[in-house]
Structure 1
Amino acid sequence: MSQSTVSCLPVNTAKMSKAKKVLDEARETQNRELDLVDKGLVSFEELPGLFNMSNITRLTLSHNKISLINPGIANLLNLEILNLSNNQLTELPVSLSSMPKLRILNVSINKLGNLPRGFGAFPVLEVLDLSYNNLNEQVLPGNFFGMETLRALYLGDNDFEYIPKELGQLKNLQILGLRDNDLLELPREVGELQRLRELHIQNNRLQVLPPEVAQLDLLSNKSVMKMEENPWVNPIAEQYLLGISHVIEYLKTETYKIIYNRHMQGGRSGPPPPKADKSKKASRIRA
């Protein structure tokens, strides 16, 4: 009879004790980096005392099953790098964007369908990875493009059809990842991103590019431009077969500007290209 109490123990006790062991060791050694990858974590309640560890600078919680981030995470005032990729997150706390030293935030491969109000208030954020979620242009907060310190923005594998013209405000942006969306066009303001060195727009529904893309430095040895798997108008498709440099040069021509303006003014031939079927995407499947 006395042994029956054993069955009352939580199923994830072993996993939880592993996480607790990592926390205890970090406290003892004053380790400023916490690695909690693949510990079977479901919630922050399995990490007692974490939010009191204000000396932590890096927190890695990827490959777990966490669905909510406790707002108390903002107590980690020295946190610079937060990796929550590959979890079950459906939303983010408003407090996240108030973290004073957060430079890198990775919440890719989750189930985010919206972003909290004021999300763009991060004071020093440099890298933001929101790829492989269920986001679109409708859920971007009004201040999203106010993150002037941002150097890399990854929005690939979402549901964007358009990117707001406010994109041009990200003056320090060097990498823009927009692959595998439903993009029908890019804003002309992309040409204002004078520090941009990587543009990933492959596998969308793009037929034309704004001529302003030609103003960017995308042809140097350290630059990258990926644009395959789009239903380009024939002139762009033909130039692409010759190479990215030919596309860039073609975008500068008066001939192309006429084609672009006609296309944007409703001169498209037929309906827009169909969307890809994303019904089996992991981010759509309920846990």
Structure 2
Amino acid sequence: MSKVRKIIDEAKESKNPELDLVDKGISSFDEIPSLLTMLNLTRITLTHNRISVVTPALANLTNLEILNLFNNQIEELPTSLSSMPKLRILNLGMNKLSALPRGFGAFPVLEVLDLTYNNLNENSLPGNFFMIETLRALYLGDNDFENIPPEIGHLKNLQILVLRDNDLVQLPKEIGELARLRELHIQGNRLSVLPPELGNLDLTSNKSVIRMENNPWVAPIADQLQVGISHVVDYLRSETYKFVYGRHVSANAPAPPRLSERTKKSSKPKP
């Protein structure tokens, strides 16, 4: 830990607001107690370590804007994290989260939240999760979601939504209320239809991205996808599709089966 101590001491001495502790073998915040006194910090990078518990005292760093904890072994988070007044970017990707703390959606200015590669599902989310009105990008790929709650429609500023490689069997029509959405990743799920309301969004312009391959689509969507994404979006807007969608929903057909072995988890790099 002498190297870590040296990095922290140098940052203190120079009053550097950005602290980089990538791949330093850190397993606990107890090993770096002086970090919690550095109130001038605006960015902390602790990626590729072995941290399992995030200390509630981290919230005392009230100037922190960017917190990157990607690729650790975090299983739970303190509620205090969501009270951080300036936190704009929070990366918790590639950890072991199976639930988020109560009140997690209280972040006042959070813009980017990355929860990729965890063990989350729709039951893991606290009631106020979709109340982060400032959120511009939400990454939920490589988790275990079967459904996305309709409250997602509250994220009016969302521009990027990544749901790839989950177990999604349907999307809520409220996604069609995300007027600013320009990037939607839903590839690698169990989706067979899409809500017609998705056609309300501008997802076919030059600056837009929609990825939807590797799903068991009904034949009409699969046929349009062969031609191109813009054809899919046009089809979603048609009266013909609204009829197809209504018939599919009313038939209440069983969801497509899960893949027998989820490659997403087996391909996850080891911390």
TM-score for the superposition, normalised by structure 1 = 0.91
Q: Are 1:278 and 2:262 counterparts?
A: yes
Alignment of 1:191-202 (within 5 A): 191-202=176-187
Q: 1:199 to 1:286 in 2, by over 3 A?
A: closer
- 5+ residue gaps, structure 1: 1-15
Q: Are 1:121 and 2:115 counterparts?
A: no
Q: Which residue of 1 aligns with 2:2?
A: 17
Deviation digits for residues 236-273 of structure 1 (CA, Å, limit 9, x no counterpart): 000000000000011111111011112122343xx321
3-state DSSP of counterpart to 1:49: helix
Work out which of the residue numbers 184, 206, 230 in structure 1 matches 2:215.
230
Q: 1:286 to 1:222 in 2, by over 3 A?
A: closer
Work out which of the residue numbers 92, 98, 104 in structure 1 matches 2:77.
92
Deviation digits for residues 205-240 of structure 1 (CA, Å, limit 9, x no counterpart): 000001111110111111000000000000000000
Deviation digits for residues 56-81 of structure 1 (CA, Å, limit 9, x no counterpart): 00000000000000110001000000
AA of the residue aligned to 1:104? I
CA-based RMSD of the aligned residues comes to 1.7
Give distance in 2, aligned partners of 1:286 and 1:174: 30
Work out which of the residue numbers 105, 117, 121 in structure 1 matches 2:90.
105
Q: Which residue of 2 aligns with 1:39?
A: 24
* Equivalent pairs, count: 270
Contact 1:111 1:284 in 2 (8 A): no
**Alpha-carbon shift at residue 97 of structure 1 (Å):** 0.2
3-state DSSP of counterpart to 2:105: helix
- 5+ residue gaps, structure 2: none
Q: Which residue of 1 aligns with 2:189?
A: 204
Contact 1:133 1:283 in 2 (8 A): no
Contact 2:190 2:215 in 1 (8 A): yes
3-state DSSP of counterpart to 1:128: strand
TM-score for the superposition, normalised by structure 2 = 0.96
3-state DSSP of counterpart to 1:105: strand
Q: Are 1:130 and 2:109 counterparts?
A: no
Contact 2:165 2:264 in 1 (8 A): no
Give distance in 1, aligned partners of 2:125 and 2:34: 33
Contact 2:44 2:67 in 1 (8 A): yes
Contact 1:109 1:283 in 2 (8 A): no
Give distance in 1, aligned partners of 2:249 and 2:75: 35
Work out which of the residue numbers 148, 160, 181 in structure 2 matches 1:163.
148
Q: Which residue of 2 aligns with 1:71?
A: 56
3-state DSSP of counterpart to 1:245: helix
Q: 1:154 to 1:34 in 2, by over 3 A?
A: same
Give distance in 2, aligned partners of 1:154 and 1:69: 20
**Alpha-carbon shift at residue 154 of structure 1 (Å):** 0.3
Contact 1:167 1:190 in 2 (8 A): yes
**Alpha-carbon shift at residue 49 of structure 1 (Å):** 1.2
**Alpha-carbon shift at residue 203 of structure 1 (Å):** 0.3
Contact 2:142 2:264 in 1 (8 A): no
Identity %, equivalent residues: 68
**Alpha-carbon shift at residue 26 of structure 1 (Å):** 0.4
Q: 1:222 to 1:279 in 2, by over 3 A?
A: closer
Give distance in 2, aligned partners of 1:257 and 1:250: 9
Give distance in 1, aligned partners of 2:24 and 2:270: 21
**Alpha-carbon shift at residue 48 of structure 1 (Å):** 2.3
Q: Which residue of 2 aligns with 1:5?
A: none
Q: 1:104 to 1:200 in 2, by over 3 A?
A: same
